[in-house]
Structure 1
Amino acid sequence: MHIVVTGMGIVSPIGIGVEKFWENAVDGVNGIASIQSFDAAKQRSRIAGEISDFDPATFLTAKQIEQTDRFTQLALHAANQAMTDAGSLESYEPRRLAVCLGSGMGGFSTFEYSAARKLQSKSIPPFSVPRIMTNSAGAWIATRYGLKGVNLTCSTACSSGANAIGMALDLLRSGKADAVVTGGAEACVLPLTMSGFEALFALSTGFNNDPAHASRPFAKGRDGFVMGEGAGILILEREEAAQQRGAKIYAELAGYGCACDATHIVAPDMGGQVAAMQAALDDAGLTPDKVDYINAHATSTPIGDVIETKAIKQLFGERAPEIPISATKSMIGHSIGASAAIGSIAAIMTLQTGTIHPTINLLEADPECDLDYTPNTAVQKYVRTVLCNAFGFGGNNASLIYTTR
């Protein structure tokens, strides 16, 4: 059984819509800037990958905007793109149409706003709870399109989007759904949320006056990740059914692997990452020599990029230096639960175009990061199989395999 991608949608700091996103990704456009959505003067990290041209009023009513958190609004916009791209799903029974989304934090903008008002003895919005719920994005997508099948939300920190896509794959393989709207959404450019990551020394704080060079995966002198926001949505269905309804097929989702480190709540572990990548390959029925490109997790943290490099070397051995790798986060920052969904779209577009987008800001690599990270300039290469990584807090590691059809 082959499970294929027939629709895609994206909202990102370097473009809304797959075409614009991909054009800017290939050109190495930088989406990191000083924070504009709130006064960040008191933050240690005052930069982020924000989506400055996003206006929910273009597709939602005033009442719907009042009832939804920003992360849900981002998810709805990306889902609308993906559903339009996929074409009519009317050939499927509504009870066979599923939703499976990932989000690490859910409606935290509503949480922060409501908590602040409560502490000031002010009233909070009546829809605070349904806006905050991590499953609200999936619920709104289902309601908007009449999708009455399984509706799941996966929250495994930074691997949420990847695990949600993997869960969608399992739903289709097991026969519990005929088509699935899947991916991830996140909106964490927020004062309290960012302060929490600052307390863990996870965010970049040394490039506040030079935001364009702050997100620098694998580079010497990197000092943490840059917070980002966004949403990526895929439509998955069985190949035979997609062909019968004349859908465009972008790629096959051939494999999914996940593994828990069970070692530390926030520190990455090479063994867990290797296990997730190997599990994805096993699930796809492929050997490591078949991988042509890796879309890396690559957050730009001092330890994380080194561990991922070592994991790739462990799994791929002598061939590791030959595999082109790139870090989408170098341009858009780390969108937590949405990152693997956005990375998946980049991986699929690599299959479609034969172009590998660059890892920007890689002028001098960390000596411990000595693989081919496609520095600064896109390259052309015939690619048939890609590996997309997502590793999150809680020791949650997930990998996805996409192939050409």
Structure 2
Amino acid sequence: MAKVLITGMGAISPLGADLPTSFAQALAGHCAVGAATPEIAKWLPNVLLAQAAAEPAGLLDGKHAGLDRASQFALVAANEALAAANFGAEAADTRRVGVYVGIGFGGAHTVDGLYDRFQAAVHSDGKRNPVMVHPLSVPRMMANAPAAAISMGYGLRGPSHTYTVACASSSVAIGEAFRAIRDGYLDAAVVVGCEAMLTPGAMLAWNALRVMAKPHATDPARSCRPFSQDRSGFVLGEGGAAIVLESEARASARGQQALAELCGYGSSSDAAHLTAPSSAEQIHAMQQALDDAGLRPQDIQYLNAHGTATDAGDVTETASIRGVFGTAAEQLAVSSTKAMHGHLIGAGGILEFALSVLAMRSGSLPPTATLEQPDPRCDLDYIPLQARHGRDVRAIMSNSFAFGGSNVSLVAKRL
């Protein structure tokens, strides 16, 4: 089996227009949560959002202006990751390079735009035809549009796969690409997570679930409070992140230095409830990832928790981590960066994994920036309020637990 290396990473997130800025802002404890846009606020005046720090279209060529916002985020992140990896697929190599994308809800902006056009037409003076829509509407909103854009943009002719597994989407994409390279089916893969659903229609649907955070009384930016006694839910964010995975042989052949080794992937399904988490299956996913990596619980120094700031979710994850790590949980540093960048759904897993890899490389651990009043039931070391620096981190784990009962854990280690 091939050793799988991470040779490049990139992101556009609520914390920054690139990955280094996003990581620096996370270490600073900056919370990128704010008020909703006017078109959303007129329906949901108290809802909060974590908008991207930059407009993706402004970071791309004009030819990409017609893409859905989610695809634009995907391309921005992929461009950064591929540039960081000094990646150039040779003509004989392109069928050995895959594209793996995770997205929760493809084409939300395109879909909302269609309904806006339809409503405007049927309420007009009758002269507008509601069936006249842009001929590329379907290709823009299909879930695999981001993967297609990356594949065509870079001439990558290997498998192009899209995973839609709610909050675990991009973590599944990482894991499946990892297996394809490890088992010899591919030599490299561009893995991307993207999400752009901050639209009136999508936000009304999420609000109906009653899982959205209520505004903090004194500082709305600190409204997402994972593991806190007074937590009230999560804040939806938008953006994209990407990593380049390569076999050790391919990276070595082209003299590319790696950032870390991806070494463990575990997944499971609760098979019980659409929204209520299962500790037993979370434990199974984490244990699978450790076993896959050939590591013991005490070998992990930092864990990026799913940590959505819901009551059941945070308590269950705490119990699950204790169930896997046992006495080693007392020395484990854990945080939820969602407190700062919000919940990016399809892009959440890969963004959090990328931040974790940077934490391992730098020895600086991002905090759970809003953790002022810990819930006694969430009794792990959740790195409250401030980052920690100068830590010796040799291996990390990142968790993604999704509605629908899908659980994914990833493990990476330092080279």
TM range (shorter): over 0.9
Q: How far apart, CA to CA, are the structure 1 residues paired with 2:204 and 2:27?
A: 32
- Would the aligned equivalents of 2:40 and 2:199 in 1 still touch at CA under 8 Å? no
Alpha carbons 1:69, 1:131 under 8 Å: kept: yes
Name the amino acid aligned to 1:363. E
Q: Distance in 1 between matches of 2:38 and 2:98?
A: 33
Per the alignment, do residues 45 and 148 of structure 1 end up closer, same or farther by CA in structure 2, a change over 3 Å counting? Answer: farther
- Match for residue 387 of structure 1? 397
Q: Which residue of 2 aligns with 1:272?
A: 281
- Residue of structure 2 equivalent to 1:177: 186
Q: How does 1:246-395 map to 2 (within 5 A)?
A: 246-380=255-389, 381-395=391-405
How far apart, CA to CA, are the structure 1 residues paired with 2:334 and 2:272?
Answer: 27
1:78 equivalent in structure 2: 77
1:144 maps to: 153
The answer as to whether partners of 1:45 and 1:204 remain within 8 angstroms in 2 is: no
Instruction: Tell me what 2:406 maps to.
Output: 396
Deviations 1:335-360 (A, max 9, x none): 00100100111111011101101111
Cα displacement string for residues 174-202 of structure 1 (whole angstroms, at most 9, x for unaligned residues)? 22211100031001212111111111111
The change in CA–CA distance for 1:292 and 1:64 in structure 2 (over 3 A counts) is same
The question of whether the paired residues in 1 share the 8 Å contact of 2:57 and 2:64 is answered with no
What is the identity, as a one-letter code, of the residue corresponding to 1:404? R
Cα deviation, residue 209, structure 1: 7.1
Deviations 1:333-392 (A, max 9, x none): 000010010011111101110110111111110111111010111112100010000000
Please say if residues 25 and 331 of structure 1, whose CA atoms lie closer than 8 Å, have aligned partners that are also in contact: yes
TM-score by length of 2: 0.94
1:298-333 deviation per Cα after TM superposition (whole angstroms, max 9, x unaligned): 011111111111100111112213200011111010
User: Which one of 162, 172, 192 corresponds to residue 163 of structure 1?
Assistant: 172
Q: Deviations over 1:151-173 (max 9, x none)?
A: 00011000001000001001102
Could you tell me how far apart the structure 2 residues matched to 1:200 and 1:359 are? Answer: 24
Hey, what does 1:20 align to over in structure 2?
Answer: 21
Task: Tell me, in whole angstroms, the C-alpha distance in 2 between the residues paired with 1:57 and 1:173.
Answer: 36
Instruction: Give the equivalent residue in structure 1 for 2:210.
Output: 201
- Find out whether 1:40 has 2:37 as its counterpart: no
SS at 2:412's partner residue?
strand
- State the identity as a percent: 38
Alpha carbons 1:162, 1:183 under 8 Å: kept = no
Number of paired residues? 403
Per-residue deviation, 1:228 = 0.4
Cα deviation, residue 84, structure 1:
0.5
Distance 1:79 1:208, change over 3 A: farther
5+ residue gaps, structure 2, are 122-129
In the TM superposition, what is the alpha-carbon distance from 1:243 to its structure 2 partner? Answer: 1.8
When Rg is computed on C-alpha atoms for both structures, the one with the higher figure is 2
- Answer whether contact 2:226 2:339 (CA < 8 A) is retained: yes
Q: Distance in 1 between matches of 2:241 and 2:356?
A: 12
> How do residues 93-104 of structure 1 correspond to structure 2 at under 5 angstroms?
93-104=93-104
SS at match of 2:381: coil
Contact 2:11 2:240 in 1 (8 A): yes
RMSD over aligned CA atoms reads 1.5
SS of residue in 2 equivalent to 1:16: coil
Structure-2 separation of matches of 1:239 and 1:45 = 49
Contact 2:13-2:52 within 8 A present in 1 as well: yes
Deviates more, 1:2-11 or 1:33-42: 33-42
C-alpha distance 321-134 of structure 1, shift in aligned 2 (>3 A): same
Rounded to whole Å, the distance in 1 between the matches of 2:56 and 2:320 is: 40
Distance in 2, matches of 1:127 and 1:303, equals 42
Q: Shift in Å at residue 129 of structure 1? A: 0.8
Deviation at 1:52, TM superposition (A): 4.0
8 Å Cα contact 2:40/2:203 also seen in 1: no
Contact 1:306 1:368 in 2 (8 A): yes
Equivalent residue number for residue 114 of structure 1? 114
Normalising by structure 1, what TM-score? 0.96
Aligned equivalents of 1:55, 1:96: Cα separation in 2: 29
Distance 2:341 2:87 in 1: 31
Deviation, structure 1 residue 208:
8.1
